Amino acid sequence: MDSERLARRHLPLRDLGRLAHILRVAAEMGWRHYLERMHLQAHLPGEKAAATAATSEAERLRRTLEALGPAFVKFGQMLSVRQDLFPDEVIQELQKLQDAVPPFPAATTHQLIQETLGQPASQLFARFDDAPLAAASMAQVHGAVLDDGTAVVVKVQRPDIEQVIRTDLEILFFIARLAQRHLPEIRRYEPVTLVEDFADTITRELDFRREGHNAERFRELFAQEPAIYIPQVFWHLSSQRVLTMERSPGCKIGPDCPPAPESRQRLADTLVRLYLVQIFEQGFFHGDPHPGNLFVLADGRLCFHDFGIVGRLSAGDQVQLGQLLLSLVARDPAWMADTYLAMGGGAPGVDRAAFTRDLGELLEQYYAVAAREASFAEILNQFIRLGRRHRIRVLPQYLLAFKAFVTVESVARSLDPRFNMLAAFQAYVPQLLGRQWLPGMPQANDLLGGYRFLSTLRGTLSGGPDAFLRGLRQWEQGDLALRLRHEQLDEVQQHIDRAGNRLSLSLIIAALLIGSSLVMAFHSGPHYRGIPLLGLVGYLLASALGLWWAVAILRSGKL
């Protein structure tokens, strides 16, 4: 499916029956006044809907989505992570949405397998279990055994689900366009953009080959990681609508798995460490790490399942998330505010000072209880609420990463009630600074300010040429106006040149000092009698430049 074709301006005639059903359900749930404002009254039943004052709008929204079927339930589940857009009561109701449905008959399963794989299940598998292990709105999963004795799971797509999803997406686009046009209070949510994001996501989920490729990529990325296991994909038994993967011989993470407290504590640490690696190093992470998708093998390895939802982060996204994490560890609200504004879409006129002040209060509250019962999920939720209050939106890829962190912390705490996410972040700071091969950094916080300075300097220097070119283009187009007054301009130019040279030299000296401090702290590079030579050389060079600079200033007689 192509989201651009789905978003066409006119609704196909074949969808009118489904549209009438959707509007009737919406009217019965108490949304008639919105539908009339969208000029859809011609499609509504003549009678008025029953009073719905006894339930909140958030609850009615959830019940409406449940009544409209799998596409609308999936849409609601996607919206449930948009805490930057919707109020808490709406998010809480949407999080209750479940897509569990009755299984479809075994005969239908066998027919789909033969249609997509070209042979009946009895010839492809030594044993195939007709009773499904699980059933959901998009597919159901069966157990099976290959001829060589390998246990597998076979995920089979529901019949006609692609056409059902296509029809509902066309109607969602139609309703979103009308809402954006006729309901001013809805425009700030950008409903058409929300439906476009949903269409892209669910279209990818309908192609099981994508899920298989996601699993293979995880398998390749973690090939050298002894603490994780990714099931194998059997491509000769897979297609767009059928996916066959190795069945995990372990147990789902739960109250009794693993049973030993030491094993549970070690597994919690491993899970969080692997997620930090996925997000900050690989830029490719499992988007739905709930306990049902996490297994523990007999040898203690962690096994992931269900790769239908994955997150992808560009190098720039990883840098932004990394800086957000570093600012949290450094307890620097100004740094955090700058990063968060760069990550999202701040509305015009955002009060940065007020946002920074509110962030500072939030960080103080978090650190006041961080050593006891502070939950990273709670600080993250408050953080997103704060952004919403200041009209700051966050890009979807960041929200999926936030959701994954919240879920991972919940699983880690179920394994080890004493688990502290902040401590895990602090321990990861050396790797986040690009020093994975180095030992621990006991005084990491002391160097974060230096890292921020260098990062800001790098951004300023890299952005300077672009700013100059933009100004030059404006000049060429006649859009740039300059007003100059010539008063001893040559002397002013000399002062500017000297000030620029001094500033450049001071930045070089500062960079040498900070870089040498990092090298000394990490004990990296070659050593002589226990002293890192690179750090020593950096200190000597900075000292020589500083001394030369001081002598030059004293000789000029101008401090």
What is d(CA 241, CA 252) in angstroms, rounded to the nearest whole number?
26
What the block records as the tokens of 495 is 């002062």
DSSP string, 10-65: S--GGGHHHHHHHHHHHHHTT-HHHHHHTT-GGGS-SSPPPP-TTS-HHHHHHHHH
Q: Helices H, strands E: what count in the chain?
A: 22, 15
Dihedral pair phi/psi, residue 512, rounded to 5°? -65, -45
Tokens 């192509």 belong to residue: 2
Residue 297 and residue 248 in contact, taking contact as beta carbons nearer than 8 Å: yes
Handedness of CA 260, 265, 269, 275 (dihedral sign): positive
What is d(CA 533, CA 535) in angstroms, rounded to the nearest whole number?
5
Tokens 């040429």 belong to residue: 465
Residue 293 and residue 305 in contact, taking contact as beta carbons nearer than 8 Å: yes
What own/partner pairs with CB < 8 Å and gap ≥ 24 does 260-269 have? 263/300, 264/415, 264/416, 265/415, 265/416, 265/418, 265/419, 266/300, 267/296, 267/300, 267/302, 267/415, 268/411, 268/412, 268/413, 268/415, 268/416, 268/419, 269/412, 269/416, 269/419, 269/424
Residues pairing with 246 in the sheet: 152
Look at residues 54, 11, 27, 383 and name the one whose alpha carbon lies nearest to residue 171: 11
**3-state secondary structure string across 370-425:** CCCCCCHHHHHHHHHHHHHHCCEEECHHHHHHHHHHHHHHHHHHHHCCCCCHHHHH
Residue 164 and residue 18 in contact, taking contact as beta carbons nearer than 8 Å: no
Look at residues 424, 351, 438 and name the one whose alpha carbon lies nearest to residue 387: 351
Q: Left if phi > 0, otherwise alpha if psi is -120 to 50, otherwise beta: which for 208?
A: alpha
Bond prior to 258 in cis (omega within 30° of 0): yes
What is d(CA 30, CA 52) in angstroms, rounded to the nearest whole number?
6
Residues pairing with 129 in the sheet: none
What the block records as the tokens of 285 is 């992470």
Residues pairing with 311 in the sheet: 285
Look at residues 260, 268, 292 and name the one whose alpha carbon lies nearest to residue 417: 268
What is d(CA 304, CA 215) in angstroms, rounded to the nearest whole number?
9
What is d(CA 542, CA 526) in angstroms, rounded to the nearest whole number?
19
Active site residues: 288
What is d(CA 463, CA 154) in angstroms, rounded to the nearest whole number?
51
Give 242's contacts (C-beta < 8 A, 6+ positions apart): 112, 113, 116, 117, 154, 155, 156, 157, 208
